Structures are given as structure tokens and as C-alpha cells.
Structure 1
Amino acid sequence: MSHWDDARARAALRRLFDAAVRSADPRAILADHLPEPPAPSSGGRVVVVGAGKSAAVMAAAVEAAWAGVPMQGLVVTRYGHAVPTTRIEVVEASHPVPDAAGERAAARILQAVQGLTEHDLVLALISGGGSALMPLAAPGLTLADKQAVNRALLACGATINEMNVLRRHLSAIKGGRLAAAAHPARVVTLAISDVPGDDPAAIASGPTVPDPSSFQEARAIVARYGIDLPPAVRAHLDAAEDESPKPGDPRLARAEYRMIATPLMALRAAAREAEAMGLTPLILGDALEGEAREVGTLLAGIARSVAAHGVPVPRPAVLLSGGETTVTLGGAQGAGGRNGECLLGLAASLAAHPGIWGLMADTDGIDGAGSNAGALATSDTLASSRDMGVDPIAALAGHRSHDVFQALGDLVITGPTLTNVNDFRAILIA
């Protein structure tokens, strides 16, 4: 077995992460998924709309692939994620807490798809973050109501799917309402999944697909987490007057959904890269959920089994997983996202176990509220952070994982990657 030292392991983990992100780059993959544009003889128009962290780069990829096709439209992306376009307008707005710029963009997007004919094509470019970037409130609700709900959801420990059930029932554009507004035009959605299970209804809260959930489910989520809602929001949920389009709704009969990048596709790309480096990859799953530090503890147990017994995979190996963990803040408001917290949970459980390294990062380049994508841990993480004057266990308890990895110089910093297939976790066992 070849020797894996610290430098080689670190480089290998970063190479795996880069391969995962590269596999979801719209500039490389989108063109193969485009539908046929309307025939010029039909007089049909192409209207491009979209929302998400990848919306602008997806729009640029559409323009490049359809250089000779007349089109118009508007997409909204996160601040700092715009790229140059010529025919499709790009607007930037706030994420994860929505703002007025996103509200205005969502209203314009909804207006852009109205009054179309059966000869027209609506191309919807949907990616992670689209829910917060299109905060068009249901009648009777305000942007301030939506912002308050978003803050409460981010802090309560709800899963991303639960968050989106509630969001769909407070919106004038999500939960299939965008596609319904475009009827009778053909609607083709190109989507990049950032949610466990790749449920189209959960990606950006499903603006172009039927919504299988109900007001009753939304109220149950509120009760489960004890979410404190603004009075107008509670009244809207209790009234349950404007249910979202359901499967079988005739307004969505001409809506088609195409998944162009998913967490599993990214993990498979990383697995191929691992094999090229002489590592045995094992994909544990693309939809791992749970409290971040506890998922880290679980992954540490699997890594120890590989190190001690070669089970469930022989060394040298890399354990790969995706999905979205949860950080329940409680009263603490520390610096550090879910990937940093999961990784510090792994490091704390492994203690000083030799020959195991981990990298955990968000494929969009931003973990939590920080400027880093994630971080990298080694067998020296705990001891070295103490030497730097940072107590790693106290940091874990206070949701301050960022402090640990920043002190060590082990933050993974990429800047915005302009894609998003959720979290990426790789644990190398030499």
C-alpha cells in the first residue's frame, strides 16, 4: 500500500471536491439538456425565467447554446453570483433571507410568463437558493412576513423539505404557481438539485411542478417546531383558501422537468476521481440528514471500522456522502456552517486517530454565513487548535466551528462556484 502523508491526503480531498463541483457546472453540462426551440414558422417565442444560485450562469449557458435563437427573459440570483448575459436579464437579490430586490424580480418573472400561447416555450432555470430569491408573498402577506418566517425556519432545526412545504403555502409563485401562470405555453424546467432525494417540489420550492403537500402539513410543521409566526401568516395558514396546484392539474399538463445535475451525479464524479488516485470509494448516500455534529460522529464510527477492520471497504479508501445536515442554534449564535460543525463533530469523535482526514464543504462555495465553502480536518485538528488557544469542544458546543478551522488555516475557500448540488463530504482512510 502506498504511503499517504498529510500533504498528499489534503491534496486528494481537494481534488475530489473540485471534481464534484466541476460535474455540476452548467457551462459544461446544460446544452445537452435543452429542448428544441419553437419552429420559426410557428411564431412561438422563447421566454427564459429562473431563480437560484446558478441562475445567471445557466442563463449564460443557454445564450451560448442558442446563439441564433431569439429569446427574452429574466433570472434572479444571489448577490455576487451574476455573470454577463446579452438577451436574458440578470437580477441579484438576497439569500438566505429574502429582500425587496427578490420580491420585485419574482413579480416580474410571474408577469413575464402570462399571456403566452400554446406555441410559446417557457424555459425555467431552477437551482438551489431559488426559494429565498423569489419571495413573492401570497395575497395578504408582506415581504416582512416572509423574512420573519425564513429567519425562524433557519434557526428551528427544520429540514429543507419541511421548510419548502411551508414556503410553498405562503407564496404566489412557488408550488407550481409559476407553471400554472404560463398555461397554455409549453414549460421546460432545467434544474440543478440541492435537496436530499432530488424532489422537484423541494428544489426552489417547486415553482413549475405540482405540489403534493397541503396547508394541513404546513400547519403541522409549524406546530412540530413551535415556530412563532406573524399573525397574518398564521391567519393565512388557518384559512387555507388558496391551495397550490396538485398532481393532475390541467394547467401543468405541458410542463416538463429535466434534472441536469444532482448530488449523486457529483458524488459519482468524485468516486471516479478517487479510483484514478488509487482509492477505493464508497458512496454512503446522497441524502444524509440529521443534526450536523451527530452525523459527524456517525461518520467517524464508519471511518474507524474501515481503519481497524477494512469494513465496509478496504483501505486506502474514501467515504463519500451528500445531503443537508441541520444545525439547531438554540440560544447560541456562533460562526460556522453545517459543514464545519459536522466536520468538527467528526474530528472530536476521532480524537487523534492517525491516518484519517476529512473534507466537508458546500458545493455552492458558502457554508452558513461565512465566506468559506467548508473546511478540512486531520488527526491533529483538536490538539493543534488547543495550541492556538481555541478549545475545539467548547467551539462545537457553541456552534463556532469556524473559529477552529480559521485558526488552523484549514478553511476551504473557493468563492461562489455558481452551482449548488448540496453538501459534499469526503473522509480519506489511509
Structure 2
Amino acid sequence: MEWTDTRARRVLRRLFDAGVSSADPRRVLAAHLPERPKGRCVVVGAGKASALMAQAVEEAWPDVPLSGVVVTRYGHAAATRQVEVVEAAHPVPDENSERAARRILAAVQGLGPDDLVLALISGGGSSLLALPVEGVTLADKRAVNRLLLASGADIGLMNAVRRRLSAIKGGKLAAAAAPARLVTLAISDVPGDDPLTIASGPTVPVGAEEPDIGAFVARVAGDLPAHLVPLLAGSGGGTPREGGRLDYRLIATPVLALRAAAEAARAEGLTPVILGDALEGEARELGTAMAGIARSVRRHGEPAAPPAVLLSGGETTVSIGNGPAGRGGRNTAFLLGMLIALKGDPGIWALAGDTDGIDGTEDAAGAIVAPDSWQRALAAGLDPAAVLARHDSYSLFEAVGDLVVTGPTLTNVNDLRAILIAG
């Protein structure tokens, strides 16, 4: 069957949707629940998927009395009967983020060894669960968060900084829940699925693997509130849980989403090549590199003969610097870098999107690049290189009608990129 533009776009969207569906809490959470508790069951959580995860717990345990509270991003709520859902700001925390963190800590107080705390953790939880340590204000945390988002720092370093300023992250929620049994059910949105990095690890004690944030602090010290510099430059950032083994269960991950997309690709007659679930680096540069691999497939049949699809996940970065910036997230920046490198090469389409449905702070999950995207951009009076230089990738894809809009998916297994090479 011929690979028309319509068919290629439909298949790419089908692969993306398959990856998102693999991380739907209503499909995957119940299999990871522990045995029912003898005592009380308190459900707490934070992240873009936490409300739907709480709903999935209620559906799986309709005969278990539940209480508790979870916090999710504005617009990401789901209907629950027993567990309260609070909405707060992301990626920069607001007052609801702090109020929710305090209420979550209060919910796990006074429990006994027969009680169970289910902690539902997913991407976005780090910003949504914002409780400053003594001597730090929410305004301080906002200022640091903005510096982090503009710095190009990877997610591990970002969350290490956030833990240093938090009274709930880095295992401090776990410490507050003792001596109750604590089971964490997590949806990973980070390269490597590191529990300490997912939402900054509120139930995970900090150990020797904590990233060194000294270089970052030195680089931005002039822009930091002065009283935060010694706090960030010191040691600390976590509290180990007293006694017991960490019971941390990953219910959905980026690699599982890529495998689901690969299965959907085979059903469409494509040869899938999973390049990895933890690709990082500057978004535009990765787009250039991926364009080269796609050309290799089309011209030489390496690393697979067409029709094929290159699948990858992970979290790239966009370093904005001090200049003015337009609109766009890491997925549209990746695609614009790829578009510039391909300049209309035939037979290559690509979709890149954030599985939570929001690429950065915009209202699209990502976008699609097609063989004619270069010419359509020029026809619209846009210089792709100049647009990329001013970090305005969203505006270009909006102008040519190639944005991918899903709305909030209520889950999050990071970015999913699919590059289809028809031949």
C-alpha cells in the first residue's frame, strides 16, 4: 500500500496513542496493588497522573474504605469518590502546591503498623508538591524553578535542587508515614526510571547517588536570592525512612510505551527500531542527529530497511539563555531541528510529543513534520532557522497546521518520538 501523507500521519498518531494507552492507570494499576490492609488505607499522591491513579485505586478496591488527598495539575483532575483531588500549578508551583503538600503530610500522621499508605507518584509531582524547608518561601522556590527551567539542566539535577529546598521530597513523606506500611505506585517520566528522580522522590531516601549541584549553584548564584546560596551549596536534601524495605512499584515506564508503539508499528507493516528510552541533550541537536539516521534508513537500509519507524523516548532540553524567547517546548524544538536538517527530503515523516499531552507550557502535545513541511513554512513567510533561534517552534507548527493536540492524557511517560521512513 502506498505511503500517502494522510496514511503516514494517521499511522504516526496511532503509534503515539498506543504508547500513551500503555500508561493508562485504569489499565495497568490494579495488577500492582498490594494485599488489602488490616487497618486503614490512606491514599496520597502527586503528579499529572495522580488523580486518574486515585480513580483506578477506587475502581480496583470498591470494598476498601479509603481516605487521603492527591494533587495534580490544573485541568488534570479525574472523578473520585473517597480520595480528594487538589489542582495546582505546573511547572512553577503556586499556593495550592504548598497547601496540598501540607495536607498530604497531615494525612499520613498518626498511622500504625497495620495501616497502609498508597503513594501515587507521577511526572510533574515535583512542582505540584511544593513545601519549602524552614527559612525558604514559596516565592524563593518559584524563583529557583524558573532558573532551572531556563538553564538547560537535566531532570536529575533539577530535582536534586528541588529536594534541597523541600520539606516533603527526598524521602521526607515516607518518614512522616512511618510506622505504617508504605507502598509507592509510580509512573516514570524520567530517563532510567530512577525513583529518586520521579517527582523528586518524596518516598525515596537520598543516598550517595545524589547529583552534585555545586556547579549549577555557582553558575546561577548571581540570580539566586542571596539567602538560598549557602543552603543549596550545603549538604542534605533527604531523610531516610526508618526501618523496612522500600516498596516501590513502577506501573508504567517510557520503555513500555515504546514497546507498545513498536507493536502497533508491526501491525501497520513497519519495521520498528527502538533507539532508546533515555535520549537526552539539546532538543534541536537531537533533531539534527535523528534526521541523519532517517536518511540512512532511506538511502542505505541501515539500521533497518524501509518502511521502518525509529522510536525513541527520554527528555531533551531547550537552553533559552538570556535572550527573548517565543513559544514552544522541547518536542517542537526537536522537530524544527529535524525539519531544518531534512529540508523536505521525500518519504520521511515524524511525530514527537509529550505523553502527558502538553509540550512544555503550551496546549499541544507536540507536532508532525512531513516532507512538504519545509515548503509550507517558507510559503507562510517563515524562516525555520530564524524561528528556531528565537525559540518559537510552536508558532511555526501552528502556522502550518501541524500541531498535535490531544488535551491532557492524565498520564505521563515522558516524550515519545516516532520517525517513519517510507522509502
Q: 1:217 is paired with a residue of what secondary structure?
A: coil
> For the residues of structure 2 that align with 1:224 and 1:424, how far apart are their CA atoms?
31
Q: Is 1:266 aligned with 2:220?
A: no
Q: 1:191 is paired with a residue of what secondary structure?
A: strand
Does the aligned pair in 2 maintain the 1:303–1:429 contact within 8 Å?
A: yes
Q: Structure 1 residues 227 and 349 mapped into 2: Cα distance closer, same or farther (>3 Å)? A: farther
Q: Is 1:339 aligned with 2:339?
A: no
Q: Is 1:380 aligned with 2:380?
A: no
Taking structure 1 as the reference length, the TM-score comes to 0.95
1:412: how far off? Answer: 0.1
> For the residues of structure 1 that align with 2:264 and 2:54, how far apart are their CA atoms?
29
CA deviations over 1:293-346 (Å, ceiling 9, x no partner)? 000001011000000000011110000000000000111311011000000101
Aligned to 2:120: 125
Taking structure 2 as the reference length, the TM-score comes to 0.97
Q: Structure 1 residues 215 and 20 mapped into 2: Cα distance closer, same or farther (>3 Å)? A: closer
CA deviations over 1:104-146 (Å, ceiling 9, x no partner)? 0001111111221111100000000000000101111010000
Alignment of 1:43-62 (within 5 A): 44-62=39-57
> For the residues of structure 2 that align with 1:196 and 1:227, how far apart are their CA atoms?
30
1:217: how far off? Answer: 1.9
Q: Is 1:316 aligned with 2:307?
A: yes
Aligned to 1:172: 167
2:342 aligned to which of 345, 350, 360: 350
Q: Is 1:403 aligned with 2:395?
A: yes
Aligned to 1:8: 7
Aligned to 2:192: 197
Alignment: residue pair count = 421
1:231: how far off? Answer: 1.8
> For the residues of structure 2 that align with 1:69 and 1:60, how far apart are their CA atoms?
13
Q: What is the identity, as a one-letter code, of the residue corresponding to 2:307?
A: P
Q: Structure 1 residues 350 and 411 mapped into 2: Cα distance closer, same or farther (>3 Å)? A: same
Q: What is the identity, as a one-letter code, of the residue corresponding to 2:168?
A: I
Identity in percent: 63
Q: Please tell me the root mean square deviation across aligned C-alpha atoms, in Å.
A: 1.4
CA deviations over 1:239-283 (Å, ceiling 9, x no partner)? 54x5513xxx45152431000000000000000000000000000
Does the aligned pair in 1 maintain the 2:48–2:73 contact within 8 Å?
A: yes
Runs of 4+ in 1 over 3 A off after TM superposition: 213-216, 224-227
> For the residues of structure 2 that align with 1:263 and 1:197, how far apart are their CA atoms?
9
Does the aligned pair in 2 maintain the 1:152–1:227 contact within 8 Å?
A: no
Does the aligned pair in 1 maintain the 2:170–2:237 contact within 8 Å?
A: no
Q: What is the identity, as a one-letter code, of the residue corresponding to 1:415?
A: G
Q: 2:44 is paired with a residue of what secondary structure?
A: strand
Alignment of 1:77-88 (within 5 A): 77-88=72-83
> For the residues of structure 1 that align with 2:210 and 2:280, how far apart are their CA atoms?
24
Q: What is the identity, as a one-letter code, of the residue corresponding to 1:386?
A: L
1:216: how far off? Answer: 8.2
Aligned to 2:298: 307
Does the aligned pair in 1 maintain the 2:350–2:420 contact within 8 Å?
A: yes
Q: Structure 1 residues 13 and 252 mapped into 2: Cα distance closer, same or farther (>3 Å)? A: farther
Alignment of 1:5-404 (within 5 A): 5-39=4-38, 44-212=39-207, 217-223=212-218, 228-240=223-235, 242-245=236-239, 249=240, 251=242, 253-330=244-321, 331-404=323-396
Q: 1:255 is paired with a residue of what secondary structure?
A: coil
Which ranges in structure 1 are unaligned for 5 or more consecutive residues? Answer: none
Does the aligned pair in 2 maintain the 1:123–1:187 contact within 8 Å?
A: yes
Q: 2:212 is paired with a residue of what secondary structure?
A: helix
